[in-house]
Amino acid sequence: MHGIFASWRATLLYLLAWVMLGLLLAAMLAVSGAGWGESVLFAVPLALMYAYATGFSAYYVCRAYPLDRRRPLAIAGGIGATAACAAALWCAIGAAWNSLLAALAPHGYVAVASPPVLATMFGLGVILYVLAAAVNYLSIEAERARQLETQRLQMTLAARDAELRMLRAQVDPHFLFNSLNSISALTSFDPAAARAMTLRLADFFRHTLGLRADRMVTLDTELQLVRDFIAIEQVRYGDRLRFDAVVDPAAATCVLPPMLLQPLAENAVKHGIGRMIGPGSIRIEAARAGSLLRIRVENDVDPDDAGDAGGTGTGLGLVNVRQRLAAAHGHEAHAHWTREGGRFVVELALPATPHTIPTIDGA
């Protein structure tokens, strides 16, 4: 089905409106002197017949004269000519229907289809056809708007998926190489630790490869990914790298875009702790403040390092986080970062959405 008849609700409302029009026409005939029974028997079936005729015919005429590809005069001419033909045919059918009723009930039916009545039907038929065409144009434009919105959402989803693949590809290759070197070194004096690190590294990459752009993850799940990453790096940095996470239980079940915090932790290690001679720490705090989920990621930096110690090197990581938040939540989310002495702080705020949708939990 299509146009006005695209759904049973729309069809029911459309036919109900035409029944009311048929009863209105019957009332006009009754006022002019015809009986109520004859008027209803004549007008209502004709109204329903014209309803189907105009519904289907106007849809195809609107398709033949699209608003965006035809000139207004051509559209008006095409619809006007079709409306006149449809109204004339309706009047002819009305006259035939009136004759049939008179023939079937010669002594109980008073003919109501006089020339003035048929002339009124013709004018009314033209107006109703034009109205049906207008409704079909609205239906066609609404459907096109829905299709455009669907395409936009599909393109957005494809962009997010490509962005997530890019994030997975951007996991610092040095992290993998250094982890493998650490595993190689451990095998000579601590095979058990080497095996544990290998398993943790496998879990980390299995988790990241299982993430999907169209599914949010819980904050607790994202933090587990960060913990796996930090645990692997602690094998290389030892006591120089400390990690702490303070998360409100109400915030742990909120959802956020996948791989939102892990790049921040990676940058904090590479451009923060990695540039320091002494030990340093990374701390993540998360709490739910009303309708917002607030996350704070901070790490130690070398006070004498004037570079971008925020953990991005070029700053693209933080910009990417801000863009992903904007893509997911629009103006309802924001990301800010600043350097406070020997600490670099990133603050995120996004809608606190509870875990009510399917998420990826390490698969």
Give the model confidence (pLDDT) of 52-87 as tens digits: 888 788 888 888 888 888 888 888 898 899 999 999
- The closest alpha carbon to 347, from 254, 283, 275, 302, belongs to 283
Q: What is the mean pLDDT of residues 259-270?
A: 87
- State the total domains in the chain: 2
Whether residue 38 is predicted with pLDDT greater than 90 in this model: the reply is no
Residue 211 lies in a domain: yes
What does DSSP assign to residue 110? -
Supply the pLDDT for residue 164: 56
Total residue length of the chain: 363
Average pLDDT, the chain: 81
Whether residue 305 is predicted with pLDDT greater than 80 in this model: the reply is no
Residue 99 lies in a domain: yes
Determine if the pTM surpasses 0.75: no
Instruction: Looking at the structure, tell me whether residues 141 and 36 fall in a common domain.
Output: yes
Whether residue 214 is predicted with pLDDT greater than 80 in this model: the reply is no
Residue 360 lies in a domain: no
Instruction: Looking at the structure, tell me whether residues 183 and 274 fall in a common domain.
Output: yes
Residue 292 lies in a domain: yes
Please report which helix (H) or strand (E) contains residue 9, including its range. Answer: helix 8-31
CB contact at 8 A, 282 and 230: yes
At residue 213's C-alpha, the angle toward residues 209 and 214, to 5°, is 130
Range with the largest mean pLDDT of 2-11, 208-217, 321-330:
321-330
Supply the pLDDT for residue 309: 44
Q: What is the mean pLDDT of residues 214-238?
A: 87
Whether residue 359 is predicted with pLDDT greater than 60 in this model: the reply is no
Instruction: Looking at the structure, tell me whether residues 99 and 217 fall in a common domain.
Output: no
Final residue in a domain of this structure, among 124, 152, 180: 152
Instruction: Write phi, then psi, for 51 (nearest 5 degrees).
Output: -60, -50
Distance from C-alpha of 335 to C-alpha of 346, rounded to nearest angstrom: 7
Instruction: Looking at the structure, tell me whether residues 339 and 283 fall in a common domain.
Output: yes
Distance from C-alpha of 13 to C-alpha of 21, rounded to nearest angstrom: 12
Please tell me the least confidently modeled range out of 168-172, 228-232, 264-268, 292-296. Answer: 168-172
Instruction: Looking at the structure, tell me whether residues 310 and 223 fall in a common domain.
Output: yes
Where in the sequence is the domain holding 229, given as residue range(s)?
171-351
Band the pLDDT of 314: cuts 50, 70, 90.
very low
- The residue assigned the tokens 């059918």 is 93
* 346: exposed, middle or buried (Cβ count in 10 Å: 0-12, 13-18, 19+): buried
Q: What is the mean pLDDT of residues 202-229?
A: 81
Supply the pLDDT for residue 213: 54
Final residue in a domain of this structure, among 101, 125, 152: 152
Instruction: Looking at the structure, tell me whether residues 222 and 254 fall in a common domain.
Output: yes
Instruction: Looking at the structure, tell me whether residues 82 and 197 fall in a common domain.
Output: no
Residue 165 lies in a domain: no
Instruction: Looking at the structure, tell me whether residues 127 and 176 fall in a common domain.
Output: no
Residue 166 lies in a domain: no
Instruction: Looking at the structure, tell me whether residues 131 and 193 fall in a common domain.
Output: no
Q: What is the mean pLDDT of residues 169-190?
A: 74
Instruction: Looking at the structure, tell me whether residues 140 and 209 fall in a common domain.
Output: no
Range with the largest mean pLDDT of 134-143, 176-185, 353-362:
134-143
Whether residue 335 is predicted with pLDDT greater than 80 in this model: the reply is yes
Instruction: Looking at the structure, tell me whether residues 140 and 181 fall in a common domain.
Output: no
